[in-house]
Amino acid sequence: MKLKMLLFLALGVLLTFGLNAQADLSETFTSSTGLTFDHPEGYTVSEQGGGDSLAIQQDDSESGFLLAVGAAATENVVGDVETTEGVFVALGESFEEQTGEPFNEDDQTVLEINDEDAYFQFFEVEGNDTALLVFATPDGELAIFIGLLLDREAIEEDNLMIRMAETVRREEAPEPDEDPDQDGGGEVRPLTVNEMPEGFIIIYTESGYSEFAYPDTVAPFDADVEIQTTVVLQYVDNLFALITVTDLGANSFFDLELIKESFVGVIAESAGDNDFDTEDSFEEVELADGRTAEYYEFEGDLAAFVYLIQLDDDRFGIVQSLGSVANLPDTLEDDLYQIASSFMVSDFTPGDVEAPDEDEDSAEVEFDGETVTLNPDDFDVQDLECGVVGFNVVDENNEEALVTCPAGCGDGAVWGTDIYTSDSSICTAAIHAGAITTEGGLVLIRLEDGQESYEGSERNGVSTRNWGSWNASFSIFRVIEEE
């Protein structure tokens, strides 16, 4: 199954070289982990779930390669194997098991890269002639290089895979990028759960951040690990039940059909469901914020539940749980739906959530029911966009904020009445609460405890939705400016 996942990651990597002479390796790429190699002009390299797994795509086409080094090539693909021959044999056995077709020994080549035996093999996957190269880097790390070919003669003549493999090495990792255009400033990097607002996960990919809220029935598996691409949540009262959330990032390799065949198909196979069909095995469901998602249920030896969500034009996310039917929590379906409904592209930047300066005197706020009287000049007023939600602005370190909403924010997703879930649109909630009109204006938002349930209602032209238990909330106050 691990080989199948790796091969599916390489699907769409169609190498249409047609070269008459060897292409110069004139470009150099260094990943966030220092993985470095040389390649020809006309290729774009992107990290796939970390700096040790790279997609190398030919510009203006679907051509490319997949390179995995170190743990990304062994532990994540073939398990605890320590030699190039061992990796090659393990991949060959897995290939034969998955396809029922043997590796053709006549197409195997043993060569030498970095004074170690390397193994090169042509075979067929999904009707395409494919190449596999297993080798060791100068530092002794094992590496797997895959390309799906349309022109075998051209790749053999050019030896491009082998020549690129000979340049793979470790160099000093580049300094993390800064994002000077964001008000939060801060280093754009993966975060640990301990650095995130309580009850929310912020996933880092090369395409940017995504975010989701999770209920108090689950908790991140490891709060000290940086969250890149995938995060695992474990049920607090059921150690055998897990939820996995994955942001696949923006990648032209991963069109919707490929994601269904590979990622969702592998989940179906893991559950023991042999009737998976990309066209008929799902139902389209409406998420709580009005978006739609594809929902899959598989049952065989295990049970699996999958939400496939389009996060952006070319970016998809998966929320899934796989386990024994006997160990499924009663709240699993509701929890998956809640997480899927809050899973979206994030405008978060590190530095957005800061603890207040305890040395500064706080400005005086006088609360009177649903209104507050204050002098805005005493506050740092944040100008919001319509889509900003509660947890982007208030948390346990910053329990109140004065914000200005623009006009035309009546269409956001909101759950609750008077007390709103923390993933609700602030400005739409402010209109619902009567603190402002659709023309926008100044409001104060205050952090509130999570509630056992939230009741929706219709007010001021805004309809809010019902929701169950949620771990954080906010309330809205109309602002009366002091004269």
Does one domain contain both 124 and 247? no
pLDDT tens digit string along 9-45? 443 333 323 333 567 889 999 987 889 999 988 888 8
The reply to whether 13 falls in a domain is yes
pLDDT at 154: 58
Segments forming the whole domain that contains residue 31: 2-170
340: CATH: 3.40.1000.10
Note whether residue 80 is domain-resident. yes
Task: Note whether 341 and 378 are same-domain residues.
Answer: no
User: Does any domain span residue 357?
Assistant: no
Q: What is the pLDDT of residue 325?
A: 76
Is position 418 within any domain?
yes
Model confidence band, residue 170 (pLDDT cutoffs 50, 70, 90) = very high
In this predicted structure, the answer to whether residue 307 has a pLDDT above a threshold of 70 is: yes
Nearest CA to 155 out of 125, 132, 189 is that of 132
The one-character DSSP state at 325 is: G
What's the pLDDT at 361?
38
Same domain, 372 and 340: no
How confident is the model at residue 138, as a pLDDT?
A: 93
User: Among 69, 73, 55, which Cα is nearest to 12's?
Assistant: 55
Q: Is a pLDDT exceeding 50 seen at residue 216? A: yes
Q: Is residue 200 part of a domain?
A: yes
- 379 and 330 co-located in one domain: no
Residue 179 counted as domain residue: no
pTM score, two decimals? 0.47
Do 249 and 329 share a domain, yes or no? yes
Q: What is the CATH number of the domain that holds 473?
A: 2.170.130.20
Last residue of a domain, one of 286, 311, 345: 345
Residue 428 pLDDT more than 80?
yes
Is the distance from CB of 469 to CB of 452 less than 8 angstroms? Answer: yes
Domain assignment present for 188:
no
**Residue 30's domain is classified under what CATH number?**
2.60.120.1690
Q: Is residue 256 part of a domain?
A: yes
In this structure, are 337 and 375 located in the same domain? no
Identify each DSSP E strand in 150-275 by its residue range. 169-170, 200-205, 208-213, 218-220, 230-235, 238-250
Is the domain of 311 the same as that of 377? Answer: no
Give the total number of structural domains in the chain.
3
CA dihedral 412, 417, 422, 428 (to 10 degrees): 20
Give the count of beta carbons closer than 10 Å to the beta carbon of residue 83: 13
Higher pLDDT pick, 224 / 268: 268
Among residues 136, 170, 204, the one where a domain terminates is 170
